[in-house]
Amino acid sequence: MKQVNVAIVGYGVVGNGVGKILDTQKELLKQKSGVEINLKKVYTRNWNKTFPHPIEEERRAKNLDEILNDENIDIVVELTGGIDFPYNLIIQALDKGKHIVTANKALLAEKGKDVFTKAEEKNLRIGFEAAVAGGIPIIKALREGLVANEIKKIYGILNGTTNYILTSMYKEGKSFSQALKEAQEKGYAEADPTLDINGTDAAHKISILSSLSFGGFVEFSQVYVEGIEKIDTLDIDLGRELGYTLKLLAIAKSHNDEVEIRVHPTFLPSDNPLSKVDGVFNAVMVEGDNVGETMFYGRGAGSFPTASAVVSDIVSIAKSIQLNIGKEIEITSMNWKHKDLNLTKVKDFYTRYYIRFTVPDITGILAKIASVFAKYNISIAAVIQKEKVLKLQKMINEKVVPLVILTHTASENNIQQAIKEIVENHYSIEDPTIIRVEDEE
Amino acid sequence: MKQVNVAIVGYGVVGNGVGKILDTQKELLKQKSGVEINLKKVYTRNWNKTFPHPIEEERRAKNLDEILNDENIDIVVELTGGIDFPYNLIIQALDKGKHIVTANKALLAEKGKDVFTKAEEKNLRIGFEAAVAGGIPIIKALREGLVANEIKKIYGILNGTTNYILTSMYKEGKSFSQALKEAQEKGYAEADPTLDINGTDAAHKISILSSLSFGGFVEFSQVYVEGIEKIDTLDIDLGRELGYTLKLLAIAKSHNDEVEIRVHPTFLPSDNPLSKVDGVFNAVMVEGDNVGETMFYGRGAGSFPTASAVVSDIVSIAKSIQLNIGKEIEITSMNWKHKDLNLTKVKDFYTRYYIRFTVPDITGILAKIASVFAKYNISIAAVIQKEKVLKLQKMINEKVVPLVILTHTASENNIQQAIKEIVENHYSIEDPTIIRVEDEE
C-alpha cells in the first residue's frame, strides 16, 4: 500500500487540529478509506511557543524549500493567512507537482482563477472544503451530491462572528458595540474584527460558492458588500414586529446570463430555517431545480470543525494518488462553463426593502413620502409609524418619530431615486436606514 | 470520450424523474462532470399508462434479460418496490458486471449485507444516496465529507409522512386520524400508510446510516421501532408546556462496542434545530468527534428531489467507469470494520422519559408514585398535575386527572419495573403513555 505524505504550512489553530487528527486518528482513516496518510513535515515561522499538538524536532521544517524540494511530499496543506505569501507558496508547490489543500478563502476568492488554472495545467487537485463554512461539507455537496441540479440560488450565514453579534442583539437587546465586545471576550471575534464585521469574509465565501455553482470565476472586487457596523437594535426590534429576523446574509442568484451576488444585513421571515441559526453557527441554503431547497448547518469555524474539512480533502486526494489519478477524478471542476461570470450591477438588484425614515411628527408626512414611492413605481406592503418620541443626538429637542416602510419587490435604482427625493425635500430629517428583505412574493 | 449507458428498472414517480433529468439535463451533466451518460433502456411491468416523462418504443425493454444481457449497459438503476424482486435483480445484475444505483431502503436495511458483499467480490459499486432522506446528500457526507470523524450519534427526522402528521397535530391541534386523512388527501401519505406510520420506513433508513457510520451491518430485525399511531394531542400539548416538541425520531448512538438504535416518538427541546423541521421535510443531525454537530435538511421524498440523489450516484459511478476504476474509488466502504454491529438491548436504553399517568383525583397519589420512582432510582425532573377532569371512555363518571412526570436520565429497565408496580397497585387507572425525551443533561 502506497503511503501518502503530507506537509502542513502554517501551524495555528486549524493547523494544530489537522496535525492532531492525522497523528491520532491515522488508524480510523486507514480503516475507512484504505489509505495510509503520514504527516511528514510542518512549517511555521516561529517554533518558540507551546502548541496544543506539539511537533517533534525531526518533523519541523526549517524552511519552505525543505517541503517544496521533498519529492516524497504529495500534498501541501496551506493554512497561513493573507494572500501573497500563500499564493506564491501554492504556485510553487503546484510547480513541484504537489496537490494542495487550503482553508484560505481570501486567496481563493481573490486569486482563485490563477490558482485553479495552474492546477488544471498540472493535473493536480486543490481541496478547499475548509475555506467555506468550516466543517460543513458544502463544497462536496455542490460539486457532487447536487451535481444533477442547476443551482438557482445559494444564500446563507457564512460568518460566525457577525451571527453571534446579531443573535445577542436580537435575543438580549444588546447594542452592536456591547455585543462585539462580548464576542471578543469569548474568542468569537478577533482583536481586529474588521474583515468579519464589514462583510468581506462572507463575501469571499459566497464568491467561492458562486464560482463552483455557476461554473465560472467571479471578479471579487465587483461583489457588493455591506457590513453590520451600523446596525441599530431599533431596526432589529421593528423588523421583529413585522415578522422578520436580521441576519448578515450572503446571497447568490442566477438569472439568465448573470449572477447577482450580494452580502448585506438582511431581514428574513422569522420562520425561515436560517432565521433560527443562532450564535456562531453557519448555515447554507441551496436551491436546485430538482432537489428544491436543502440546508447545511454546522460550526463554521474552530480548530477541529475546520480541521475535519481539511482532513476530508486530504483523504480524498490521498485516495486519488493511490489510484494514480489526478484532477480528472473531480466530479464538478471549478469553471466548468469555461467563462467568467457576469455580475448583476447594484442598480439592477431587485428585492424587497425595509426603510426607516426619521420624520417630524407632523400631519401629512406619510402621504408625501408615499406619493414619492408611487412616482417611482414602488409598491408599499406595510407601514409602521410609532408615536414614541426619539431623542436624536443632533436635534435633541425636536419631536421626531421613526416611520418604517416595507416595500414589495422593487428595483434598487428606483429605491435610491425615491430616497434621494425624500431626503432632498426634508421629509426625512436623517438619511434613512435601508435593509434589504429576502422574502419572495 | 466513453459513453456510459444506464438502464432503469421500475418506472414510477422516481423513475420518471430520473428519466427526465438524464434526457433533458444531459448537457449540464456533461459540462460539469465530463461524462456522457445515456439512458439506454427502461423496464416496467406495464407500459399501458401515461407517464410524466414518456419513453419511446425503442428504449422500452420487453423483459429484464434485455437489460441484464446487454453488455453495453454499465449501470442498472433499481427503482422497484418490495424486497425479493429487487434483491434477485441486483444480484443478477452484479453477476453480469453491472454497477447498481438503488433507492430501496427496505432492501438495503434487510438484505444489505448480502448485496454489498456480492458487490465487493465483483469490484462493483452500489449507489444508494436516494435510499435515505431523498435529495439530501447525507450518504456522501458520512462517507466522504465527515470521513475525519468518529461518528458519535446520528439522529433525525427521516420520514416525511409522519412529520407532516405530527406538525399538523402540533400546529393545528388536529387529531392523529384527522391529520392522517389530510396527509392522504394531499398525497403525502399512501393509501396504505402502515410502513410510514409504524416507524418501519424510518428504521430502515437509520439502519443504513448506522451501518455506514459505525462500520458494520445491523441486524434489522433487532432494531427497536415504535410508530406514531397512538399519539394523542393531549401529550403534544403537555410536552409543549414542558418546552418540548414531539417528533418521530430515528436515533443511533455509538458507545463502546455497542450501537443503540431506536425509532420512536420523541420529545425534543423546542429550541433544537430539528424541532423546527416542519411538514414533509427531513433533517439529519450528525455528531462527529471533530466537527461537532452538523445538520442536513431538505425534501426527503418526491420525484425530482429523490431523482437528484439517484442521478448524483449515476454520475459518480459513470466517472469511475470512465477512469476504469471500481469499488476502490469509494472513500468509506460499507462494513469498514468488517464485523456486524452489536445492538444495545431495549432494557439497557438509557434516556429521559415523559410519562403520563391517569390518576384518581385523590390526595396522596403523587407521593405514592414518587416513592415507587425513588425505589427504582429514577430521579424526577418535573411534574405536571392538571386539575382538569378527563372523561375517559371506559369510566366516564370517575374523576381522573393526567399526571405527567418528566424524569432525569434513567434506564429503560428501571422505568418498566416502576411502571409495572404503579399499574399493579392501581395508582394509575390506565396504562401510562411513555414518550422518550432526547435532551442530554
Is A212:A358 a contact under the CB 8 Å cutoff? Answer: no
Q: Does residue A391 have a pLDDT over 90?
A: no
| B316–A292 CB contact, under 8 Å | no
pLDDT value for B363: 79
Q: Which residues of A are catalytic?
A: 205
Tell me what ipTM this predicted complex has.
0.94
Query: Cα-flanking dihedrals φ and ψ of residue B120, to 5°?
Result: -65, -45
- Least CA distance to B139: which residue of chain A? A145
- Chain B positions touching A299 (Cβ under 8 A) are 291-294
- For B73-97, the pLDDT digits (tens) are 999 999 999 999 999 999 999 999 9
What mean pLDDT do residues A153-160 have? Answer: 98
Interchain CB contacts (distance < 8 Å): A and B: 199
| Collapsed DSSP state (helix, strand, coil) of residue A188 | coil
Q: Rounded to a whole number, what is the distance in Å from the CA of A134 to chain B's nearest CA?
A: 9
pLDDT value for B385: 85
Q: Does residue A120 have a pLDDT over 80?
A: yes
Distances (CA, A) of A133 to A24, A59, A268, B70: 24, 30, 20, 45
Is B317:B150 a contact under the CB 8 Å cutoff? Answer: no
Q: Does residue B394 have a pLDDT over 60?
A: no
pLDDT value for A388: 60
Residues in chain A, overall count: 441
A389 class by beta-carbon count within 10 Å (0-12 exposed, 13-18 middle, 19+ buried): exposed
Question: What are the E-state strand segments in A90-140?
Answer: 99-102, 126-127
Query: Cα-flanking dihedrals φ and ψ of residue A216, to 5°?
Result: -155, 165
Distances (CA, A) of B59 to A138, B6, B19, B308: 37, 11, 11, 22
pLDDT value for B387: 67
Name all domains of chain A by residue range, CATH numbers in brackets: 3-137+303-329 (3.40.50.720), 138-299 (3.30.360.10), 347-437 (3.30.70.260)
* Facing residue for B312 by CB, picked from A33, A145, A325: A145
Which of B13, B16, B144 has the most A C-beta neighbours within 10 Å, making it the best mutation to test the interface with A?
B144
The one-letter amino acid code at A247 reads K
Is B126:B236 a contact under the CB 8 Å cutoff? Answer: no
Q: Does residue B390 have a pLDDT over 60?
A: no
pLDDT value for B1: 67
H, E, C per residue of B277-327 = CCCCEEEEEEEECCCEEEEEEEECCCHHHHHHHHHHHHHHHHHHHHCCCCH
Calpha distance B233→B242 (Å, rounded): 14
Distances (CA, A) of A419 to A89, A355, A363, B226: 48, 9, 20, 59
| A297–B294 CB contact, under 8 Å | yes
* Facing residue for A298 by CB, picked from B293, B307, B323: B293
pLDDT value for A292: 97
| Collapsed DSSP state (helix, strand, coil) of residue A47 | coil
| B315–A25 CB contact, under 8 Å | no
Q: Does A190 show up as a binding residue in the annotation?
A: yes
The residues facing B164 across adjacent strands are none
Q: What angle do CA B48, B53, B56 make, to 5 degrees?
A: 65
Calpha distance B312→B144 (Å, rounded): 14
Q: Rounded to a whole number, what is the distance in Å from the CA of B217 to chain A's nearest CA?
A: 14
Lowest mean pLDDT among A82-91, A265-274, B126-135, B393-402: B393-402
Calpha distance A135→A158 (Å, rounded): 12
| B145–A309 CB contact, under 8 Å | yes
- For B14-39, the pLDDT digits (tens) are 999 999 999 999 999 999 999 999 99
Is A135:B286 a contact under the CB 8 Å cutoff? Answer: no
Is A123:A327 a contact under the CB 8 Å cutoff? Answer: yes
* Facing residue for B150 by CB, picked from A28, A215, A312: A28
| Collapsed DSSP state (helix, strand, coil) of residue A175 | coil
Calpha distance B209→B133 (Å, rounded): 10
Grid cell 504556485 in the structure block, residue: A91
Distances (CA, A) of B157 to B215, B262, B275, B308, B386: 22, 12, 9, 20, 31
Residue A14 CA to its chain's centroid (Å): 18
Calpha distance B260→B214 (Å, rounded): 11
What mean pLDDT do residues A309-335 have? Answer: 95
Q: Rounded to a whole number, what is the distance in Å from the CA of A44 to chain B's nearest CA?
A: 23
Smallest Cα–Cα separation from A293: which of B275, B277, B167, B146? B277
Q: Does residue A386 have a pLDDT over 80?
A: no
Q: Does residue A392 have a pLDDT over 60?
A: no
The one-letter amino acid code at B112 reads G
- Chain A positions touching B147 (Cβ under 8 A) are 29, 32-33, 311-312, 315
H, E, C per residue of chain B = CCEEEEEEECCCHHHHHHHHHHHHCHHHHHHHHCCEEEEEEEECCCCCCCCCCCCCHHHECCCHHHHHCCCCCCEEEECCCCCHHHHHHHHHHHHCCCEEEECCHHHHHHHHHHHHHHHHHHCCCEECHHHCCCCCCHHHHHHHHCCCCCEEEEEEECCHHHHHHHHHHHHHCCCHHHHHHHHHHCCCCCCCCHHHHCCHHHHHHHHHHHHHHHCCCCCHHHCEECCCCCCCHHHHHHHHHCCEEEEEEEEEEEECCEEEEEEEEEEEECCCHHHHCCCCEEEEEEEECCCEEEEEEEECCCHHHHHHHHHHHHHHHHHHHHCCCCHHHCCCCCCCCCCCCEECCHHHCEEEEEEEEEEECCCCHHHHHHHHHHHCCCCEEEEEECCCCECCCCCCCCCEEEEEEEECCEEHHHHHHHHHHHHHCCCCCCCCEEEEECCCC
- Chain A positions touching B144 (Cβ under 8 A) are 137, 140, 144, 312, 315-316
CB hemisphere CA count around A393 (13 angstroms): 0
Q: Rounded to a whole number, what is the distance in Å from the CA of A419 to chain B's nearest CA?
A: 38
pLDDT value for A414: 98
pLDDT value for B362: 76
| Collapsed DSSP state (helix, strand, coil) of residue A182 | helix
Which of B32, B151, B254, B271 has the most A C-beta neighbours within 10 Å, making it the best mutation to test the interface with A?
B32
| Collapsed DSSP state (helix, strand, coil) of residue A437 | strand
Q: What angle do CA A352, A270, A180 make, to 5 degrees?
A: 90
| A140–B135 CB contact, under 8 Å | no
* Grid cell locating B336: 469498514
Grid cell 422500452 in the structure block, residue: B60
| A140–B145 CB contact, under 8 Å | yes
- For A192-202, the pLDDT digits (tens) are 999 999 999 99
pLDDT value for B247: 98
Is B80:B56 a contact under the CB 8 Å cutoff? Answer: no
> Rg (Cα) of chain B, in Å, rounded?
24
pLDDT value for B441: 77
Calpha distance B311→B127 (Å, rounded): 10
Q: What angle do CA A224, A214, B100 make, to 5 degrees?
A: 145
* Grid cell locating A206: 459566497
Distances (CA, A) of B37 to A51, A140, A303, B1, B96: 50, 21, 41, 11, 20
Which of A245, A290, A293, A324 has the most B C-beta neighbours within 10 Å, making it the best mutation to test the interface with B?
A290
* Grid cell locating A59: 518533523
Q: Does A438 show up as a binding residue in the annotation?
A: no
What mean pLDDT do residues B97-118 have? Answer: 97
* pLDDT classification of B360: cutoffs 50, 70, 90: confident
Smallest Cα–Cα separation from A11: which of A57, A48, A42, A49? A42
- Least CA distance to B309: which residue of chain A? A145
Q: Rounded to a whole number, what is the distance in Å from the CA of B40 to chain A's nearest CA?
A: 18
Q: What is the β-pairing status of strands B75-78 and B99-102?
A: parallel
| Collapsed DSSP state (helix, strand, coil) of residue A131 | helix
pLDDT value for A390: 56
Across all residues in chain A, what is the average pLDDT? 95
pLDDT value for B406: 97
- Chain B positions touching A315 (Cβ under 8 A) are 144, 147-148, 331
> CA end-to-end span of chain A, whole Å?
57
Phi and psi based region of residue A250 (left: phi greater than 0; alpha: psi -120 to 50; beta: remaining): beta
- Chain B positions touching A28 (Cβ under 8 A) are 150
What mean pLDDT do residues A125-145 have? Answer: 97
The string over B237-266, giving b where at least 16 C-beta atoms fall within 10 Å of a residue's C-beta and e elsewhere, is ebbeebebbbbbbbbbbbeeeebbbbbbbb
Calpha distance A347→A224 (Å, rounded): 11
Of the spans A42-46, B361-365, B385-389, which averages the highest pLDDT?
A: A42-46
Calpha distance B273→B285 (Å, rounded): 9
Percent pLDDT > 70 in chain A is 97
| A147–B312 CB contact, under 8 Å | yes
Calpha distance A225→A220 (Å, rounded): 10
- Chain A positions touching B13 (Cβ under 8 A) are none
Question: A391 or A23: which carries more pLDDT confidence?
Answer: A23
| B145–A141 CB contact, under 8 Å | yes
Smallest Cα–Cα separation from B38: which of B6, B16, B8, B9? B6
Distances (CA, A) of A98 to A77, A83, A369: 10, 19, 62
- Least CA distance to A333: which residue of chain B? B32
- For B202-216, the pLDDT digits (tens) are 999 999 999 999 999
A146 class by beta-carbon count within 10 Å (0-12 exposed, 13-18 middle, 19+ buried): buried
* Facing residue for A150 by CB, picked from B28, B319, B337: B28
Grid cell 454537530 in the structure block, residue: B293
| A292–B276 CB contact, under 8 Å | no
Percent pLDDT > 90 in chain B is 90
Percent pLDDT > 70 in chain B is 97
pLDDT value for B5: 98
Calpha distance B417→A303 (Å, rounded): 45
* Grid cell locating B241: 408546556
- Chain B positions touching A215 (Cβ under 8 A) are 31-32
* Facing residue for A291 by CB, picked from B290, B299, B329: B299
Q: Does residue A387 have a pLDDT over 70?
A: no
Q: Does residue A440 have a pLDDT over 90?
A: no
Q: Rounded to a whole number, what is the distance in Å from the CA of B213 to chain A's nearest CA?
A: 10
Calpha distance B137→A120 (Å, rounded): 27
| Collapsed DSSP state (helix, strand, coil) of residue A391 | coil
The residues facing B37 across adjacent strands are B4
